Amino acid sequence: MNQHRLIYLDNNATTPCDPRVVDAMVPYFYEKHGNAASRSHQYGWEAEDAVDYAREQIAALLDVEDKEIIFTSGATESNNLALKGVFEMYARKGNHIITLETEHKAILDTCKHLEKAGAEITFLKVKEDGLVDLAELEAAIKPTTILVSVMWANNETGVIQPMKEIAQLCEKHGVLFHSDATQAVGKIPTHPRETGVHLMSFSAHKMYGPKGVGALYVSRKNPRVKVTAQIDGGGHERGMRSGTLNVPGIVGFGKAAEIAKNEMQQDAERVSRLRDKLQNALIQLEETKINGNIDSRMPHVTNISFKHVEGEGLMMTFNQHIAVSSGSACTSASLEPSYVLVAMGLGDDLAHSSIRFSLGRFTTEEDVDFAVKAVSEGVNHMRELSPIWEMYKDGVDLTKIEWSAH
Amino acid sequence: MAYSEKVLEHFKNPRNVGVLNKDAKNVGTGLVGAPECGDVMRLQIEVDEVTGVIHDEKFKTFGCGSAIASSSLATEWLKGKSLDDAMKIDNMDIVEELALPPVKIHCSVLAEDAIKAAIKDYQEKNGITANAANAEVSA
């Protein structure tokens, strides 16, 4: 077992760079080190050409115009730019923004920041399967609503929101639609123009590109959307995002987009078969539950609760060999379990018992077989240690016990 | 966050996992924590009726590695102790022994609570009221 390499099943946290991406980037660190904004010499022209080419590669993946791609440092910055930029640019039209309780912190905390600046934010609950309730969304729209922000796919559960239906509601009420598509771009088709998404955030490092580079898609026509810049300076990126462009990162991002466009379908088919194999084997264990809608879900993700076992303790049984993440927050300073799972109506006990498995391009069949064995053994081991598993097996009604919450 | 060697050692080889007959007169059971909070500890002691010394102890814990290590260590420390001495086990001793980081201190608090709850259960079953020494500790 010790000889086995560490198996990486945490691709929703970040993906390794594809070696083809790294190869494409290397020349731009030294030989072609120019600043894309240097207009007066060969180095600058070369860098500018490289950035233009990457922008085309990314635009091709999204089926949009290259000028609609604004480079940023990552999806968190893109989300900040989209929300704050729209709030400031459209202040005369209204101050109301609608989003979901299950969004990433980059959306939730940006919204809370905007609340202090005078925005009114509606945080919608989701259904038990993680999907937005379209009727509730429509009911929340009012004359002052300027923006709806809904993530394309959730990072913890992989649940894919009904993007077209949401876009239709936004269209009907004349509201802008932003999506944090970080977990979806490059893995499933994400065509914002065709779908009716006006702004879309995404990041290179979730699609086998490098960390530190992302983008915001901003629709240029029907409607022409503008956002107020949040970083002032040299007026790069059509004035929406100043700062010297991360040329090697952008080149890698472009290459990652090109590979994704060409290989998305075969990758998705292969990885969903492996995901299903992993999931089907693990739910053979007693008292397990898959979290989130399994019919509208990313091909590489499954989130499973193993009842009466605490997630972090469970991970400790195999984390020398397998990298996953847990919905239990015992690892962080806060002791609250996953707010995403709790928002889906999962009890705190089940949220504490959940593990997210996210496979990727480099996951092998052998990895999955090994993970099934190690996780199953871990669950059985932890249940032998668990007093509440013993009580459950003895037929004790756990809801009738007076627990001493602490 | 990396775990200390001692936490890993207790986690891999937990001491005294199991169950004692909770209905036995000489067994005290402490069940603390809550599933919603992510940790539940059940700690049991069996007291020698002649010497008044703890001569068997078992635990089961639902929780993270630190919670399991804290309760495992607690059972080790309880062996052979009188109830008065057992009452003196302080959560900070567990923190120190296992090198728990600040975010895991609650695990040691839970272990101390479990010890005190088990002793209290034993005392109530046997009609013993907490003596002066205990009162001092819990004050």
Q: Tell me which of A176-185, A197-206, A210-219, A322-331 is least confident.
A: A322-331
Chain A residue numbers with beta carbons less than 8 Å from the beta carbon of B91 are: none
At A1, the pLDDT band (50, 70, 90 cuts) reads very low
Quote ipTM for the complex.
Answer: 0.88
Closest CA to B82 of B48, B107, B132, B106: B48
pTM for the model = 0.92
Question: What is the structure's pLDDT at B87?
Answer: 96
Residues from chain A contacting residue B68 (CB–CB below 8 Å) = 313, 385
Query: What does the pLDDT read at residue A4?
Result: 59
pLDDT at A405: 65
Catalytically active residues of A are 330
Query: Which pLDDT belongs to residue A400?
Result: 86
A235/B71 Cα distance (integer angstroms): 59
pLDDT higher than threshold 50 for residue B132: no
Pick B65's closest partner by Cβ from A309, A316, A337.
Answer: A316
**What pLDDT is recorded for position A198?**
98
Instruction: Answer yes or no: do A387 and B31 touch at CB < 8 A.
Output: yes
pLDDT tens digits, A372-382: 999 999 999 99
Residues A127-152 have a mean pLDDT of 98
Q: Residue A91: count other Cβ atoms within 10 Å of its Cβ.
A: 14
Assess whether pLDDT exceeds 50 at residue A19: yes
> Which of the residues B15, B20, B31, B40 would you substitute to probe the A interface, choosing the one with the greatest number of A C-beta atoms within 10 Å?
B40
Q: Cα(first)–Cα(last) distance of chain A, in Å? A: 38
Select which of B19, B37, B92, B99 is catalytic.
B37
Distance from CA of B44 to the nearest CA of A (A): 12
Given a cut of 60, whether residue A280 has pLDDT beyond it is yes
Query: How many Å lie between the alpha carbon of B48 and the closest alpha carbon of chain A?
Result: 25
The rounded distance, in Å, linking the Cα atoms of B13 and B7 is 10
- Residues B22, B91: Cα–Cα separation, whole Å: 25
Task: Give chain A's largest Cα–Cα span.
Answer: 79
B64 among known catalytic residues = no
